[in-house]
Structure 1
């Protein structure tokens, strides 16, 4: 027989929400950092093919 689950407290809900938001923020920072390094040409971990316009 199924039993209704107890309600999650507000503090637990907020903790989970902040963790979820923090993960998105950190991945956005990493993407921005990679984009900056690619645009300046100082990337050491990501290789991009460059075309010669000569």
Structure 2
């Protein structure tokens, strides 16, 4: 017969959630920074433009 697993402590749960939220916040900051640099024209990031995509389709 199946036996229930032991309960995870609140501190362990909170650590995992904090880690997940921290990773999400770091990625959000990177995305915002990249967006700002693209808008100001100071970006070294290469991204395809609409014209490039049309040329590849032909």
Q: Distance in 2 between matches of 1:6 and 1:35?
A: 45
1:11 counterpart residue number: 11
**TM superposition outliers: structure 1 runs of 4+ over 6 Å:** none
TM-score normalised by the chain length of structure 2? 0.75
Q: Distance in 1 between matches of 2:47 and 2:32?
A: 16
1:1-54 to 2 correspondence within 5 Å?
1-47=1-47, 49=49
